[in-house]
C-alpha cells in the first residue's frame, strides 16, 4: 500500500478560528432563524431576537469589511480541503460591501415588520423567513464556488416563495404564480450553465475557473455557457426583455415583503452578472457579449422608466423604477472599465438602500391612507407634513439629485459612457432619470400636493382611527435609511474608496486568486 502525502490537498492544521469570521454574516442569521422556529409559540419575542441578531450581523459584516480593507480579499475552505477541492468562501471588497448593505436593509425591514407583521404572520414564519433570505443573499455575496452560488440562490428563492404568499390573498397568489415559476426557470437555467461549465473545465471554484478561462479564446462552448449565464442572471435581475414578472408580482405581497425583495433580490442577479463577467469568465467580459449586455441595459433603463410613468399604483411605479435602476448597473458592467465598475458597485449599494426605503415609505402611506392608488391618494401634505417631506427627500435620492447618494454613481457612470464613446448609454441614463423625475414628481403632485378630494375625507378619518400603536415607529426605519443615503451623498469619499477597491479587485483578478490559492503554496 502506497502512502500518499495529502499536503497539497488538505490543510494539515485546524482552520484558525479567525478564518471562520468570514462565515459570520451567513451563520448569525441562520442560527437565529433556527432559534426563532424553536420559539414559534412566543411570536411576541420574534422581532426582538431578530433585531438583536441583525444588529450583531451588521457589526459582523462591518468588521469583515474592515478586515478586508486591511488585509485584502479573505478566503477560507470548508472541511480543511484546499481549493479547488473544497467549497471556498471568499470575501473581496465587492462581497463585503454588499453584505454590509444588505444586512442594513434587512435590519430596517425587520424594524418595520414590528408593526406590520401580525402575530398570525409571525407564526407562519415572517421573521425566520426574512432571516433565511438574508442567509441566502449573504451566502451568494461571499461564496467562491459557482455551484455553491446556485445553492445560495435557491436558499433565498425558497425563502422569498414563503414570504410572497404570506397572507394568501387572491391577488398575492396570482403574483406569486408568476414570480415563483419564473424564478424557478431562471435558477434552473443557471444550473444548466453551471453543468456545462463543469463539463468543460472540470472545476467549479471561481478562482480556479478564472485561472483556466483567462488564456482561452472566446469561442465554441464558452460562448454558450456565457450566454446562458447572461440569460439566467438577467432573468433574475429583471433585465429587459425578461423583467415582466417583477412589476407583475412585487406589488402583491405585504409591503414590508416587497421592500425586502426590491432591496435585495434583483441586486443578487446583478451581482452575479458582475462576478461572472469579471472574475469567473474574464474573456467573456471582454467579448461582443458585453455589447449585447449593453443594449439589454439600455433597454432596461428606458423601458423601466417608461413603465413607471404609466403607473397609477405607487408600488408598481416603484417596481418599474427598480427595473430601470437595474439597467444602469448593466450598462456599468458591460462597459467594464474600472471607473464604470466603481460606479456600478456604488450604485448597487445606493439602490439597495433607496429601493428598500421607497417601498417602506409606501408602507407608511398605506398605513395612513389604506390605499396606494394615486387616483385616490390626495392631500397628504396637509395632515402628514413629515411624511411628505420624507417622500420628497427619498424621491430626490431616487431621481439622483445632489447631495444625495444617487447623484454620484450616475454622474461617474455618465461621464464614463461619454469617455468610452458609448453615447447610447449616456442617453439612456439621462433619459431614464428624466422619466423617473416625471413619474415621482407626478406621484408627489397627486398624492401630496393635490387637496384632499371631497369623498376621501371620511375614508381618511376612518383610517386614522385604525392606526396601530406602531404607526409612529414605522417612520424609524425609513428615517434611518434616509439618513444613511444622505450621509453617503454628502460624504461619498468613503464608499467611493471602497467601491473603487472593489472594482480594482474585479479588473485585476490576481489578488482574488491569490487569496484563494495563497494557502496552498
Partner 1 sequence: MESYLSILVGLYFACSVYLLLSQSLVRILIGIALLGNGVNLLIFTSGRITRGVPPIIEKGAKVAEASIANPLPQALILTAIVISFALFAFVLVLSYRAYQEIGTDDTAKMRIAEPIEPSHLPKGY
Q: Which residues bind partner 1 (CB under 8 A)?
A: 1-4, 6, 147, 151, 154, 157-158, 161, 165, 168, 170-171, 173-178, 180-181, 184-185, 188, 191-192, 194-196, 198-200, 247-249, 251-252, 312-313, 374-375, 378, 442, 446, 450-451
* Residue 184: CB minimum distance to partner 1, A: 5
Let me know: does 362 contact 318? Beta carbons within 8 Å.
Answer: yes
- How many Å apart are CA 351 and CA 318, to the nearest integer? 12
* Residue 82: CB minimum distance to partner 1, A: 15
Q: Rounded to whole angstroms, what are the CA distances from 495 to 66, 97, 360, 405? A: 12, 9, 24, 10
Listed residue (241, 244, 231) closest to 273, CA to CA? 231
- How many Å apart are CA 373 and CA 380, to the nearest integer? 13
First-to-last alpha carbon distance for the chain, in angstroms, is: 27
Helix (H) or strand (E) holding 504: helix 493-507
* Residue 65: CB minimum distance to partner 1, A: 30
Helix (H) or strand (E) holding 148: helix 146-164
Neighbour tally for 313: CB within 10 Å: 16
* Residue 30: CB minimum distance to partner 1, A: 17
* Residue 195: CB minimum distance to partner 1, A: 4
Half-sphere exposure of 215 (CA within 13 A, CB side): 4
* Residue 281: CB minimum distance to partner 1, A: 17
* Residue 176: CB minimum distance to partner 1, A: 6
Q: Which three cell numbers stand for residue 362?
A: 409606501
Nearer to partner 1, 372 or 515 (CB): 372
For residue 453, the 8-state DSSP code is P
Let me know: does 163 contact 220? Beta carbons within 8 Å.
Answer: no
Nearer to partner 1, 132 or 344 (CB): 132
Let me know: does 36 contact 50? Beta carbons within 8 Å.
Answer: yes
For residue 344, the 8-state DSSP code is H
Nearer to partner 1, 66 or 310 (CB): 310
* Residue 14: CB minimum distance to partner 1, A: 20
- How many Å apart are CA 74 and CA 37, to the nearest integer? 32
> Any idea how long the chain is?
521
* Residue 433: CB minimum distance to partner 1, A: 21
The CA-CA-CA angle for residues 110, 113, 117, to 5°, reads: 140
Nearer to partner 1, 188 or 468 (CB): 188
User: SS3 for 459?
Assistant: helix
* Residue 193: CB minimum distance to partner 1, A: 10
Neighbour tally for 352: CB within 10 Å: 24
Q: Work out whether the CA dihedral 331, 333, 336, 341 comes out positive or negative.
A: positive
Nearer to partner 1, 313 or 338 (CB): 313
- How many Å apart are CA 494 and CA 483, to the nearest integer? 16
Q: Which three cell numbers stand for residue 155?
A: 436558499
Nearer to partner 1, 122 or 251 (CB): 251
Nearer to partner 1, 176 or 482 (CB): 176
Nearer to partner 1, 196 or 470 (CB): 196
- How many Å apart are CA 254 and CA 48, to the nearest integer? 20
* Residue 222: CB minimum distance to partner 1, A: 14
Nearer to partner 1, 251 or 410 (CB): 251
- How many Å apart are CA 410 and CA 446, to the nearest integer? 27
* Residue 303: CB minimum distance to partner 1, A: 16
Nearer to partner 1, 72 or 162 (CB): 162
* Residue 84: CB minimum distance to partner 1, A: 11
Nearer to partner 1, 147 or 470 (CB): 147
- How many Å apart are CA 193 and CA 230, to the nearest integer? 10
Q: What phi and psi values does residue 503 have, to the nearest 5 degrees? A: -65, -40
Nearer to partner 1, 293 or 440 (CB): 440
Nearer to partner 1, 171 or 466 (CB): 171
**421: left (phi > 0), else alpha (psi -120 to 50), else beta?**
left
Amino acid at each position: 500500500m502506497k502512502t500518499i502525502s495529502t499536503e497539497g490537498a488538505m490543510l494539515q492544521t485546524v482552520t484558525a478560528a479567525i478564518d471562520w469570521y468570514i462565515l459570520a454574516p451567513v451563520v448569525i442569521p441562520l442560527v437565529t432563524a433556527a432559534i426563532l422556529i424553536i420559539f414559534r409559540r412566543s411570536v411576541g419575542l420574534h422581532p426582538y431576537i431578530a433585531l438583536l441578531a441583525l444588529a450583531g450581523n451588521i457589526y459582523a459584516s462591518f468588521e469583515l469589511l474592515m478586515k478586508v480593507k486591511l488585509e485584502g480579499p479573505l478566503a477560507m475552505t470548508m472541511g480543511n480541503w484546499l481549493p479547488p477541492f473544497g467549497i471556498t468562501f471568499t470575501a473581496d471588497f465587492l462581497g463585503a460591501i454588499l453584505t454590509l448593505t444588505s444586512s442594513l436593509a434587512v435590519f430596517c425591514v425587520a424594524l418595520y415588520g414590528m408593526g406590520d407583521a401580525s402575530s398570525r404572520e409571525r407564526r407562519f414564519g415572517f421573521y425566520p423567513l426574512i432571516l433565511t433570505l438574508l442567509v441566502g443573499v449573504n451566502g451568494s455575496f461571499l461564496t467562491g464556488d459557482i455551484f455553491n452560488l446556485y445553492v445560495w440562490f435557491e436558499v433565498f428563492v425558497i425563502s422569498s416563495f414563503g414570504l410572497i404568499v404570506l397572507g394568501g390573498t387572491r391577488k398575492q397568489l396570482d403574483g406569486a404564480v408568476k414570480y415563483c415559476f419564473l424564478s424557478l426557470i431562471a435558477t434552473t437555467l443557471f444550473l444548466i450553465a453551471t453543468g456545462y461549465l463543469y463539463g468543460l473545465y472540470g472545476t467549479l471554484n471561481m478562482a480556479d475557473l478564472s485561472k483556466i478561462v483567462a488564456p482561452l479564446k472566446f469561442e465554441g462552448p464558452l460562448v454558450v455557457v456565457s450566454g446562458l449565464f447572461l440569460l439566467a442572471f438577467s432573468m433574475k435581475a429583471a433585465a429587459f426583455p425578461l423583467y415582466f414578472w417583477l412589476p407583475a408580482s412585487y406589488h402583491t405581497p405585504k409591503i414590508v415583503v416587497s421592500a425586502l425583495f426590491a432591496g435585495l433580490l434583483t441586486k443578487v442577479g446583478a451581482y452575479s452578472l458582475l462576478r461572472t463577467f469579471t472574475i469567473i469568465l474574464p474573456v467573456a467580459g471582454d467579448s461582443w457579449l458585453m455589447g449585447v449586455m449593453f443594449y439589454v441595459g439600455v433597454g432596461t433603463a428606458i423601458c423601466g422608466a417608461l413603465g413607471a410613468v404609466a403607473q397609477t399604483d405607487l408600488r408598481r411605479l416603484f417596481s418599474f423604477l427598480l427595473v430601470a435602476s437595474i439597467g444602469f448597473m448593466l450598462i456599468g458592467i458591460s462597459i467594464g472599465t474600472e471607473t464604470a465598475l466603481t460606479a456600478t458597485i456604488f450604485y448597487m449599494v445606493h439602490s439597495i438602500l433607496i429601493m428598500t426605503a421607497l417601498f417602506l415609505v409606501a408602507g407608511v402611506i398605506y398605513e395612513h391612507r389604506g390605499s396606494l392608488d394615486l387616483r385616490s391618494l390626495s392631500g397628504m401634505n396637509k395632515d402628514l407634513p413629515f411624511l411628505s417631506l420624507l417622500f420628497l427627500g427619498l424621491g430626490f435620492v431616487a431621481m439622483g439629485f445632489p447631495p444625495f447618494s444617487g447623484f454620484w454613481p450616475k454622474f461617474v457612470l455618465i461621464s464614463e459612457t461619454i469617455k468610452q464613446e458609448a453615447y447610447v448609454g449616456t442617453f439612456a441614463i439621462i433619459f431614464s432619470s428624466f422619466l423617473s423625475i416625471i413619474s415621482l414628481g407626478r406621484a408627489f403632485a397627486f398624492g401630496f400636493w393635490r387637496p384632499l378630494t371631497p369623498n376621501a375625507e371620511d375614508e381618511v378619518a376612518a383610517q386614522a382611527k385604525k392606526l396601530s400603536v406602531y404607526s409612529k415607529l414605522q417612520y424609524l426605519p425609513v428615517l434611518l435609511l434616509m439618513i444613511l443615503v444622505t450621509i453617503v451623498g454628502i460624504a461619498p469619499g468613503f464608499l467611493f474608496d471602497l467601491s473603487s477597491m472593489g472594482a480594482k479587485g474585479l479588473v485585476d483578478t490576481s489578488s482574488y486568486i491569490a487569496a484563494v490559492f495563497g494557502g496552498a503554496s
